[in-house]
Amino acid sequence: MGRVIGIDLGTTYSCAAYLEGNEPKIIPNLEGLPTTPSVVSFTNSGERLIGNLALRQAMTNPEKTIFAVKRLMGRKFDADEIQDMQSKIPYRLSKAENGDILIDIDSIKLTPQEISAMILSYLKKCAESYLGEEVKEVIITVPAHFNDHQRQATKDAAKIAELEVLRVINEPTSACLAYGISNKKNATVAVYDMGGGTFDITFLEINEGIFHVLATNGNSFLGGEDFDNRIVKWLLDSFNKETGIDISYDKFALQRIKEAAEKAKRELSFTLESEINLPFIYSDESGSKHIKKNLTRKELEDLTIDLIQKSIPYIGQALDESKLEPELIDEVILVGGQTRMPIIKKKISEYFRKEPNEKINPDEIVALGAAVQSGVLEGKIADLVLLLDVTPISLGIETENDTFVKIIDKNTTIPTKKTMAFTTVENNQRRVRIHVLQGESKIASENTPLAVFDLVGIEGAPAGVPQIDVTFEIDADGLAKVYAKDMATGRKQGIDVRPSSGLSNYQIEEIIKRTREGQFKVDEDDETRLL
């Protein structure tokens, strides 16, 4: 095994880390910065920019500057969240034949996995430059509440970047690993993780080097982007009220407003008031129009308090599933840049009746934990014995009358294996269709379909007589395999639950081939890519 790095592929910023001795350390990017904007931009001259260079293109080239792609990973184009997001981003999305999302860059259509792979390739290059050796293997983190589609899409992105994923771990769990390596004591820990695009709450027990996840919950479409959008809407509405002009369809103006909104939000974590000054935001025959507004911390809190409150029920549910009470929590760890917002710290302090632990940078802690996990896998960290994570969403199959039968419940420790017996519903039925689903609804059609396969050659018998054993196996990455076996004949059929949508292995290999042939060649002098 060569040098293994940890990567936190974030919605807004991404970060890489490695293990030096027993200590995880951040890998700076090519500009010497600890984090890299998760942004890819394609210039009119054919260059591809990653990170800060791409971010600088956002105002002048908004339709070809791609950000927040993590929110698109493993999702369907027709999903309500995606349709709402489409109205708030300057770049164009379209629908793939299988219902997935495509990102339109002029005549080229790219998948979210390909954009994420470009960010991962850049982080890989940064690591190789910094460490002075080739990097082929990675521990990669995902939001705890990512479903199977989203986890597989993340692994596909890494494969396109020619990185072998040794382990996928949940971001809050990774953060707790980083906490545990620097705080060598037994504790019950809550990890409140709100980043740029996702929210998770996870409860863990640390006991003699064993990290045992008790429960996790969250929302993979709740994060800093939503806070930014509230400020954007406030500015657009104010401008419309003052001038009678709607500039929400002006992509260049919208990008300037979005950048100013994010800047103001960051400032208000440290000051009580921020000035937003956007001269010449619009011009017509009556002259130029400007935006000049003061936004106070209190006004921002009023604009976004419902987003903060939206996270609280997830905490309560995860507490119930952990069989814990707030007063039993020894440490609260805040993860993700959005948790710098003072009111979030205040609300979490009130909920758990203790001040959060802020000793580790919330932007870096997840990547540091992934680096710790690399040391665990390599046997370099003797103090950390075992990581016991959980599956965040229940898995099961569809039965008659659109009924969903759970076989593995959410928050089951992984890896795991469980078998449940089923039977036929018709006389002399020779075939059964196994429809694998993920979700919590008792109604099958309300859950996420993962895979379908048929078990054929069942021995003819009256309805209800045959015994069909369905077995689910979930690996340490949270990905599943499913088997069905007719106990009378011994016939067995199984499937690795790779989402029916997403990229096929053939498509991934074709993308890698194009990359190697230079269509996405890395310019060694800067962060440029050629399209």
Q: Give catalytic residues, as residue numbers.
A: 8, 70, 171, 193
Alpha helices in 220-296 (DSSP H): 224-243, 251-267
- d(C-alpha 472, C-alpha 456), whole Å: 19
Q: Which residues, other chains included, contact 377 with Cβ-Cβ below 8 Å and sequence gap of 6+?
A: 4, 139, 166, 167
Distance (Å, whole) CA 459 – CA 461: 6
The structure tokens 């800067």 sit at: 526
DSSP 338: G
Give the span between the Cα atoms of 62 and 91, in whole angstroms.
7
Question: Degrees (nearest 5) of the Cα angle 114, 339, 118?
Answer: 10
Give the three-class secondary structure for 374.
Answer: helix
For residues 49 and 58, is the Cβ–Cβ distance under 8 A? no
Secondary structure of residue 528 in the 3-state scheme: strand
DSSP 469-523: EEEEEE-TTS-EEEEEEETTT--EEEEE---SSS--HHHHHHHHHHHHTTTTPBP
Tokens 């596909």 -> residue = 156
Long-range CB pairs of 486-495, under 8 A, 24+ apart, other chains included: 486/455, 486/457, 486/458, 486/459, 488/458, 488/459, 488/461, 489/457, 489/458, 489/459, 491/455, 491/456, 491/457, 491/458, 492/455, 493/434, 493/453, 493/454, 493/455, 493/456, 494/453, 495/436, 495/451, 495/453
Q: Classify residue 348 as exposed, middle or buried by CB count within 10 Å of its CB (0-12, 13-18, 19+).
A: buried
Q: How far is the CA of 473 from the CAs of 183, 385, 410, 419, 435, in angstroms?
A: 34, 23, 14, 9, 15
Which residue's structure tokens are 């982080």? 123
CA distances 455 to 311, 405, 422, Å, are 42, 18, 12
Q: How many residues does the chain have?
A: 531
15, 26 Cβ separation under 8 angstroms: yes
